[in-house]
Structure formats: C-alpha cells, structure tokens
Amino acid sequence: MIELHHIHKNHGATVAVADVSLAVKRGESVALLGHSGSGKTTLLRLVAGLDLPDSGTVCVEGRIGMVFQSLALWPHAMVQEQIELVLHGPRWSGAAKTARVAEMLDVFGLDSWACRKPGTLSGGEQQRVALARAVASDPEILLLDEPLAHLDGGSRQELRERLLPILKGRAVLIATHDEEDARVLAQRCLRMREGRIV
C-alpha cells in the first residue's frame, strides 16, 4: 500500500529526510517515533503527496485519510459538515452519506457537538473531529500526525480504544513522540533521528 524507496528531502540547507526506505502493507500499523524535527511530519507529507521528494520514489496505492498535527479543521464548517464534505463520489450519495455521518458522530462521541464550529470546541473535542474526518470516507491508507497530542490521560486512553478497531484492515502510518501511543496503536515501531530511520 505504501512503499518508499531511498527518499531524500531537504528544507533549504536542512536535511529533513535522508535515505528513508519503508513499506507498509494493508492491515499493518507502523509508528514513527522521534523528537521534534526528526523528520516524521515531513515523511507523512511526502506520503500524502503534499510535498515532493528531492530524490527517491513514493508509491501509494489507495485513498488517503489524514490527521494533521495542527488538526486543520475548516473554521467555517460545523462538525457534521467537516465529515460530510469528505464524503463524495458515487459511494456516498444520499442516505449512505447521512448514515455515515451519523455513524462517525456516534463512534467518536460527537453527537452533541454536531452543529458546532471548531472554534467553539476544546482541544480534545477538535482532535476527535479530526479523527472522524480522517476515517469517514473509509480510506485504505491512514496517516496520523500526533493523533492524540491534544488529549489528557483519561481521554487519550479512551480514544486509543476507539481507534484500535478503526485502524484494522488499513495501512496506517503514525507519527508520534509518545512511546505509549506507539506501543498500543502500532504493530511496528521505527525510530527517526535527523531524518533517518535508526
């Protein structure tokens, strides 16, 4: 599903990713562990096609869902619209779309905030909306950039449990600096330092 071959990416004079090769199969969750600036987010952006590598090849097969580090919730859209907007194409017409929105609101415990805009939600609530939006269209590939960063201990544990069944059957790449998140959510952990997998 995801195959990276000898990827290099520089940001100006700084080496962001250096000679990274990686494969993630369907049904596999891989965590990228590392400190800030180690290249995790850049790698996710390369997989998502938001940035192009300076050299190497990126092969991605399937639709992508992503949780951004900044969450990137559209400020003018209500919670249910955030989910609705990503449901397009023949599969999500009419009743199927409505049912899927209701399902996502229910799964992520967002029913009572369906008609609120992101600016009126707490950090944890916004995190749930971002996760719901990422998985709503049932993507084959899921890219999660610090997916539980805005949550406290209790909420973090609860959301991990909600996430586990959702990750099954997809190729998942998780960027995190939290070892516990990586251990629970991923089957394989890779450590990154100065743009390299070590």
Partner 1 sequence: MTQPFLNSLLFAVMTTVFATVGGMAVFWGAVSASKTRGWGESILVGGAVGCLLMPPFLHAGAWWKVGMGLALPVATIPFGAMVLSLQLWPVVFLVLLAASRRLEPSLLEAARIFLPPRRIWNRIVLPMLLPALCLASAVVFILALNHFIVPTTFQTPVQIADVYVMFSSLYDTRAALLQSLPIWLISMATLALAARLAACGEMGRTNRHASLHAGFAFRGLPIPGGRVLWRGLGGVILLASLLPGLGGLISWVIPKHDEALRTYMTPLLGAVRLALPQFGASLVYAAGSALFASIFGVAIWRAMRVVASRRGGTAIADGKVAWLVEWILATPFVLSGLFLGILLIGASQAAGAWAWWQGTWLMGLAALAVRFVWIPFKAASVAHAQIQSDLLDAAKVFRLSSAATFKAVEWPAMKPSLATAAWMVYVLALWDVETLVLIYPAGGEPVSLRLFQLLHYGYDAQVGVLSLGLVAMGLLPGLALGFIRYAGFHRPSPQGHKMIAKR
What does the per-residue mask of binding to partner 1 show for 104-123, with x meaning CB under 8 A? -------------x-x----
Among 15, 77, 121, 149, binds partner 1 (CB under 8 A): 77
64 lines the binding site for partner 1 (CB under 8 A): yes
Residue 44 contacts partner 1 per CB under 8 A: no
**Is 12 among the residues that bind partner 1 (CB under 8 A)?**
no
Q: What is the full DSSP assignment across 41-64?
A: HHHHHHHHTSS--SEEEEEE-S-E
Length of the chain, please? 198
- Which regions of the chain does DSSP assign to beta strands (E)? 2-11, 14-24, 29-33, 55-60, 64-67, 141-145, 171-176, 188-193, 196-197
Question: Could you say which of 14, 21, 50, 54 contacts partner 1 (CB under 8 A)?
Answer: 50
Number of residues that bind partner 1 (CB under 8 A): 21
Which residue is listed with tokens 């520089």? 10
**C-beta of 52 vs 198, nearer to partner 1:** 52
145 vs 181 by CB, closer to partner 1: 145
Of the pair 48, 166, the CB lying nearest partner 1 is at: 48
Among 34, 39, 65, 147, binds partner 1 (CB under 8 A): 65
Which tokens is 90 given? 């023949």
CA-CA distance, 156 to 159, in Å (whole number)?
5
Q: Which of 9, 133, 150, 170 binds partner 1 (CB under 8 A)?
A: 133
Least gap, CB of 94 to partner 1 (angstroms): 17
Q: What is the DSSP letter of 29?
A: E
User: Is 128 an interacting residue with respect to partner 1 (CB under 8 A)?
Assistant: no
Measured between alpha carbons, how far is 53 from 80 in angstroms, rounded to an integer?
A: 35
Contact predicate 46/55, CB 8 Å: no
What are 9's two structure tokens?
């990416």
Q: Which chain residues interact with partner 1 by CB under 8 A?
A: 48, 50, 64-66, 68-70, 72-77, 85-86, 88, 117, 119, 133, 137
